[in-house]
């Protein structure tokens, strides 16, 4: 069972769901009547996008962008690759980017610059997890769910070598998993 491979649960399923309700309420208040374009950054943000958007009680449009900079490992290559671009134009739109984690900040600083360059009216960022100790560029999310320590976390969208995304909580793997 996958659960036997987890050393420690950092954030439980219940805590995540409660946080989605809180963030959804804040987003509803801020964006009511603005029809924001909510952009999920694949693949990691997929579960968060599903749970959070259900808690937003105003009209939104959803789109997805697939970017990748970690390959199969635990260290960012530093180079953000667009795997799939948006279907929608961001020009003149209030854009809200949804991320699972901000670590080095490289992925998001790339996307924020890109959407400004593409003439979005506003660009804000909501992340479930913030790992400030990992930062390589100056980036502060507009909304963040939880601060995590400087450790490699998995679950709820976050992978190690494409596995563990389907865990309903955030955890840390047993060290022998990396060694095998």
Ligand X SMILES: O=P(O)(O)OC[C@H]1O[C@H](OP(=O)(O)OP(=O)(O)O)[C@H](O)[C@@H]1O
Cis ω for the linkage preceding 165 (within 30 of 0): no
Query: Up-side HSE of residue 179: CA atoms within 13 Å toward CB?
Result: 4
The least distance separating ligand GUN from the CB of residue 20, rounded to whole angstroms, comes to 19
Binds 142: which of ligand GUN, ligand X, none (CB < 5-8 Å by kind):
none
Residues whose CB is less than 8 angstroms from the CB of residue 36 and which lie 6 or more positions away in sequence, other chains included:
60, 61, 93, 94, 95, 96
**One of 9, 34, 70, 124 touching ligand GUN (CB under 6 A):** 70
Considering the rule CB under 6 A, would residue 10 count as an interface residue with ligand GUN? no
By the rule CB under 6 A, 101 interacts with ligand GUN: yes
Min dist CB 160 to ligand GUN, Å, is 6
Q: Is residue 37 a contact residue for ligand GUN (CB under 6 A)?
A: no
Does residue 153 touch ligand GUN according to CB under 6 A?
Answer: yes
Length of the chain as a residue count: 180
Q: How far apart are CA 44 and CA 37, in angstroms?
A: 18
Rounded to 5 degrees, φ, ψ at 72 are: -95, 0
Count of residues in contact with ligand X, rule CB under 6 A: 18
Residue nearest to ligand X (CB): 44
| Region 27-86 residues binding ligand X, contact defined as CB under 6 A | 41-44, 68-70, 76
Residues with catalytic annotation?
A: 103
98 token code pair: 């949804």
């Amino acid at each position: 069972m996958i659960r036997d491979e987890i050393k420690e649960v950092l954030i439980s399923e219940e805590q995540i769901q409660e946080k989605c309700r809180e963030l959804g309420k804040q987003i509803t208040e801020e964006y009511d009547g603005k029809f924001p374009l909510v952009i999920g950054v694949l693949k990691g943000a997929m579960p968060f996008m599903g749970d959070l958007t259900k808690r937003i009680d105003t009209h939104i449009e959803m789109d997805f962008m697939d970017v990748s900079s970690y390959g199969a490992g635990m260290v960012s290559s530093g180079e953000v690759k667009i795997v799939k671009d948006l279907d929608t134009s961001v020009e003149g739109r209030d854009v809200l980017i949804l991320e699972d984690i901000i670590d080095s900040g490289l992925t998001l600083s790339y996307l924020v610059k890109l959407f400004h360059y593409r003439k979005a009216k506003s660009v804000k960022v909501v992340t479930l997890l913030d790992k400030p100790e990992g930062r390589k560029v100056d980036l502060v999310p507009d909304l963040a769910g939880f601060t995590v320590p400087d450790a490699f976390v998995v679950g709820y969208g976050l992978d190690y070598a494409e596995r563990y995304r389907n865990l309903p909580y955030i955890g840390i793997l047993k060290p022998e998993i990396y060694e095998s």
